[in-house]
Amino acid sequence: MTIKKNDKQKILIVDDEPDITTALKMYLELQGFHVDTFTDPANALAHFKAGFYQLLILDIKMPEMNGFELYTEIKKKDKTVKVFFLTALSDMHDYAFKKEVFPKEGERYFIAKPIENKEILKRINTVIANTN
């Protein structure tokens, strides 16, 4: 079955750990998603194509720009794109639920790492459908 590139859901992953982006990219592409990765948030922002991605997966703790800040910037360009934040659980306590970024039920936006493949797939499917 030929899958048209245009039909694929597109995910943008930004994490300063290359192994994480590489691994996630490899897995999610095998699941039928189109995945772009960046290890540098500034770079990611510069290359961001508005309207192109359905989902963002952003690491929170990154040097120079953290995940929330990146998301805020992206939101200015693209209001509809959905987001998950990858976090080592302590991050959540550090950052709490930033009210200006999130409305009430903030937990929905957090993915605690490390996360199993099945689990991340399930979470992604709650917001976008894969075409596999």
The binding site for other proteins (CB under 8 A) comprises 17, 19-20, 22-24, 26-27, 30, 61, 88-91, 93-94, 113-118
Closest approach of other proteins to the CB of residue 132, in Å: 12
Distance CA 127, CA 83 (A): 9
What is 3-66 written as a DSSP string? --GGGS-EEEEE-S-HHHHHHHHHHHHHTT-EEEEES-HHHHHHT--TTT-SEEEEES--SSS-
* 48 versus 86: smaller Cβ distance to other proteins: 86
* 20 versus 74: smaller Cβ distance to other proteins: 20
Distance CA 109, CA 40 (A): 21
Closest approach of other proteins to the CB of residue 63, in Å: 9
* 94 versus 107: smaller Cβ distance to other proteins: 94
* 30 versus 42: smaller Cβ distance to other proteins: 30
Closest approach of other proteins to the CB of residue 102, in Å: 21
Distance CA 7, CA 131 (A): 7
Closest approach of other proteins to the CB of residue 116, in Å: 6
